[in-house]
Structure 1
Amino acid sequence: MKDLSVIIVNYNVSYFLEQCLLSVRKAVRGLQVEVFVVDNNSVDGSVEMVRRRFPEVKLLANQENLGFSKANNQAIRQAQGKYILLLNPDTVVEEDTFCKCFRFMEEHPNAGALGVKMMDGAGKFLPESKRGLPTPWVAFSKVFGLAALFPTSAFFNRYHLGHLPQDQVHPVDILAGAFMFMRDEVLEKVGLLDEDFFMYGEDIDLSYRIKQGGFEVYYFPETRIIHYKGESTRKTSVNYVFMFYRAMRIFAEKHFSGRQARVYSFLIRLAIYLRAALALVYRGVQGVFPLALDGLCLALGAMVGEKVVPNPMSLDPSPMWAAYFGVWLGTAFFSGAYDKPPRLNRLVQGMLWGSILLVAFSSIVSIVGEINKKHVLVAVLLGLVGMTFWRLVWHFQEYGHWRFGEPKTKRIAVVGSGKEVKRASSLLRQAGAQEPLTQFEPQHTPADLQQIKEVIEIYKINELIFCGKDLAVSQIIEWMVQIHNRAVEFKILPENSAYIIGSSSKNTRGDYYALHIEVNLLNPYHQRNKVVLNSLVSVLLLLLAPVLIWRIKGKGQFLKNCLGNLVGLYQWVGLKATATPDARPAILSPVDKISSARISPAAARQIEVVYAKEYTAYADLLILARNLPNLGRRVA
């Protein structure tokens, strides 16, 4: 029997997985450990990378995305370890993490499972390291913001157990699925992960069953891990909200009964609709706010223009101005004026095209009498001044300089040996990023930390890259915690890796430097066109519904699909074989362009990769035209 079986479920995060496995390789020393990687049909080369770089790993390569629970259970059934560790691929463990956890469990026979102290990519403590049972009151306090208002209250914030010190061992109720160190005999008694949970809630359910089985669940802060993506990732995503609270509802129906179950179910349903509404409002405000500012600038320009070039007409010009503003803002939108970082030429180009369209339209229908052309010219010029000014202020606040179109200036320092610093510089060049301003080679003495702080101060460093080959993970985490500064971001260059990985907070997806590969579907221009196309197609289909609906299978679902696409919940054509769990559900996929017959998963993935790389709006229209009878298909 092995001492420990480490199980990592991976889905399209090859760069994180590589770094995680490198840290695991160092942490297994002193124990008999087997490592499983269960890949859920990734298309980013994860399987090939594991086979090439980590031959000691037991790789289970699935041909479809089975979800977190099923994939973990696959490996647990094959595991030979006395202890089982479920570990996320977007984590980095300290060199002594496994030994310390093993020792603690050996010394506490009543312990069924433990979790450790988790830090985000900026060195900040993640409160989900320790959690309480989501009873109706705990769920209510969390959903309605009372936990956030009173973070250290034992009454209001039992969800994150904010009243318990971060640096002391405590029995807790719930562990995070990112790191669950469990006794194998306990799993044999209480059962494996519940496969009704696809992505969220399985950690809550399993922790609860371990407690119900008579074992303790511990928070163990004497070792730390980095967890790049905390629980808040994509919480503004409507799909995330429904998936997470669906998981909570499954938990409630499984473990509560009677009045408690009814109250919990009511709160969860209320939370689903409340959070989904808030997510939609937040996304709407984010999208509309820049447009509203530009509209205000144009309105002020029109008001000033009225004084400079009086309008001789007695008719109220307000409706015409509203139409003019709509055309200007529309052409600015499609010219990329709202893409980041903002570029002045895109804004000017949009205003110019809008003005040309307005002049041409006015000449054709002879309505220029209502609004003087000189008045229009003054309005757009003054509006441009206002739009440029607010963009300039925002650009400086966001990127720290006044140069339009340029992202935030990176002032990078690399901590490591000369050889690794050169490798980091080469990777940064290949990724099109700025090269390091300076380097620091640690002497592995207590003075290192102070010297790093001095380097940051002298060179005004805002990004620090640690070389994983030269530094222990425990040392990197300690320096991140001690340096912790909002102005400084941290990244790690793993040993022999082609990626430099980091994340500025738990709310930010982990990012990385690597060779740039152009994928049209990720381009803001094409993403914008795809969203607009979905809505326009939905409006057209709704207008033509009385004629088309007789040809369409699933007529009721067809109307739901139209409305779902109109408000952005669904997409008409999207990735399915290669979709991420938080992607918007799609009615059709690129495979529908080829044939309705079944094809192999590998072929489907290849078709979707080509679609993503070469995407155009015409591709979606072609797929829709060939599949009109299937537009009533259920989302997937």
Structure 2
Amino acid sequence: KTSIIILTYNELELTKKCLASIERYTDKDKIELIIVDNGSSDGTREYISNLPDVKVILNEKNLGFAKGCNQGIEAAGGENLLFLNNDTMVTKNWLTSMLRVLYHSEKAGMVGPVSNYVSGAQMIHDAYQSLDELESFAEAYCAREKHHTKRVLRLVGFCLLVKKSVIEDTGPFDEQFGYGSFEDDDLCLRALQKGYSLHIALDAFVHHHGHATFTANQDININQLYSENRQRFTEKWGTDFTYFTHPRPEIAELVPREAKRILDVG
């Protein structure tokens, strides 16, 4: 079973679209839904509290992405954990394709999909112009990329599938990163350090609205948060972040042991 952990902070309409897409494209018998609300004030708390067969955690204030995800981890009963932003919409075969990649080898530890709005190698440029085109685009694109994967050094946390055993080995998200940014990069490095490999399922497409939580919280200065968390990441790992996010093509194909040496995290 896969525990899908979704954090919410306002943006109720986006959350409804996300949940509707999961309902449409996911086998309910193979998942459990866990929603962690970080102090919404737009009716989100009342809405999710009335959803059937959903584990709900209500925080009185915004505890941040890392803390919220860690609460979800503690509540999860699945063998797999899937961290999913509430401003996403999944498409046909999304989870099946990602699980196939996650279990193609014992050392595969984390998998992400491709998307219209994400940094790094998971980005598909010029995907579509409107949501009306999403379903047809995703189906055609994923058919062309069926069973294709790409090994990488970094996956973005907007939609991140992880074996629960990997989290037990590496530890959960580092809560020093607060509201968000770089906690996913940090988790990726810890997974690499333990010898796990990271992969993109090229035949899994997830639409991402992007920065919805930050937009909904006017108290957060996203540029300042990014700068502060980048500094925390650099101080923790002693490595240049741009080198990590934009590796030379040949580096991405290296085994984790060699990647650790290059990134100086071993």
TM-score normalized with structure 1 length? 0.32
Identity across the alignment (%): 28
CA contact (8 A) 1:116 1:224 kept: yes
1:575-622 CA-to-partner distances (Å, cap 9, x unmatched) read: xxxxxxxxxxxxxxxxxxxxxxxxxxxxxxxxxxxxxxxxxxxxxxxx
Q: Secondary structure at the match of 1:176?
A: coil
Task: Map 1:479-498 to 2 at 5 A.
Answer: none
CA RMSD of aligned residues (A): 2.5
Mapped partners of 2:61, 2:211: distance in 1: 25
> Are residue 39 (structure 1) and residue 31 (structure 2) matched?
no
**Residue deviations 1:515-556 (CA, integer Å, cap 9, x gap):** xxxxxxxxxxxxxxxxxxxxxxxxxxxxxxxxxxxxxxxxxx
Matching residue of 1:212: 193
Determine helix, strand or coil for the equivalent of 2:160. Answer: strand
Q: Which position in structure 2 is the counterpart of 1:221?
A: 202
1:50–1:30: structure 2 CA closer, same or farther, 3 Å change rule?
closer
The aligned counterpart of 1:80 is 77
Structure 1 equivalent of residue 92 of structure 2: 95
Task: Specify the SS of the correspondent of 1:18.
Answer: helix
Deviation at 1:12, TM superposition (A): 0.7
Aligned equivalent of 1:241: 223
* Equivalent residue number for residue 169 of structure 2: 189
The aligned counterpart of 1:70 is 67
Partner of 2:122: 130
Q: CA separation in 1, counterparts of 2:220 and 2:26? A: 40
The offset of 1:130, in angstroms, is 3.5
Contact 1:129 1:176 in 2 (8 A): no
How far apart, in 1, do the equivalents of 2:81 and 2:37 lie? 18
| Deviates further, 75-84 or 96-105 | 96-105
Segments of structure 2 that go 5 or more residues without pairing to the other structure are: 124-143, 243-266
**Larger fraction in helix:** 1
Match of 1:250 in 2: 232
> Is the contact between residue 101 and residue 199 of structure 2 (CA under 8 Å) also seen in structure 1?
no
Q: CA deviation at 1:212?
A: 0.8
Deviations 1:303-335 (A, max 9, x none): xxxxxxxxxxxxxxxxxxxxxxxxxxxxxxxxx
> Contact 1:23/1:95 (CA < 8 Å) preserved in 2?
no
* Higher relative contact order (Cα pairs below 8 Å, separated by 6+ residues): 2
The question of 1:56 aligning with 2:53 is answered yes
Distance 2:18 2:53 in 1: 14
Q: How far 1:77 sits from its partner (Å)?
A: 1.0
Name the one with the larger strand percent: 2
2-side partners of 1:188 and 1:238: how far apart?
A: 31
Shift of 1:127: 4.2
Unaligned runs of 5+ in 1: 121-125, 132-165, 268-636
Whether the 8 Å contact between 1:7 and 1:72 is mirrored in structure 2 is: yes
Q: What is the deviation of 1:107?
A: 2.2
Q: Does 1:172 align with 2:152?
A: yes
Q: 1:30 to 1:11 in 2, by over 3 A?
A: closer
**Which residue is 2:21 aligned to?**
23
Deviation at 1:64, TM superposition (A): 1.1
Match of 2:113? Answer: 116
Q: Deviations over 1:38-64 (max 9, x none)?
A: 000100000111233x21111101111
Q: Is the 8 A contact 2:10 2:40 kept in 1?
A: yes
Deviation track 1:67-104 (CA, whole Å, cap 9, x = no partner) reads 00001100101211111000000000013211221222
In 1: Cα distance, 2:220 partner to 2:63 partner? 22
Residues 224-263 of structure 1, C-alpha deviations (whole Å, 9 max, x = no match) = 01101169x88xx99322210211111111112xxxx5xx
**2:205 aligned counterpart, secondary structure:** strand
1:107 counterpart SS class: coil
Deviation at 1:31, TM superposition (A): 4.7
Query: What secondary structure sits across from 2:115 in the alignment?
Result: strand
Q: What corresponds to 2:3 in structure 1? A: 5
Q: Which runs of structure 1 show a deviation greater than 3 angstroms over 4 or more consecutive aligned residues?
A: 126-131
Distance in 2 separating the partners of 1:105 and 1:30: 19
SS of alignment partner, residue 220 of structure 1: strand
In the alignment, residue 250 of structure 1 is paired with which amino acid?
R
- Report the Cα distance in structure 2 between the residues aligned to 1:243 and 1:98, rounded to whole angstroms: 31
In 2, Cα distance between equivalents of 1:127 and 1:77: 28
* Equivalences, count: 215
The normalised TM-score by structure 2 is 0.74
3-state secondary structure, aligned to 1:119 = coil
Q: Provide the rounded CA distance (Å) in 2 between the counterparts of 1:191 and 1:255.
A: 16
What is the rounded CA distance, in whole Å, between the counterparts of 2:66 and 2:174 in structure 1?
6
1:499-529 per-residue CA deviation (whole Å, 9 max, x = no partner) reads: xxxxxxxxxxxxxxxxxxxxxxxxxxxxxxx
Look up the equivalent residue of 1:104 and give its one-letter code: V
Shift of 1:129: 5.0
> Do the aligned partners of 1:10 and 1:38 also contact (CA within 8 Å) in 2?
yes
- Larger gyration radius, structure 1 or structure 2: 1
Q: 1:170 to 1:21 in 2, by over 3 A?
A: same
CA–CA distance in structure 1, aligned partners of residues 28 and 57 of structure 2: 25
Alignment map for 1:218-617 (pairs within 5 Å): 218-229=199-210, 239-256=221-238, 264=240
- In the superposition, relative to structure 1, how do residues 127 and 63 fare at CA in structure 2: closer, same or farther (>3 Å)? closer
Give 1:4 shift: 0.3
Report the residue type matching 1:81 in the other structure. G
Q: What is the deviation of 1:196?
A: 0.2
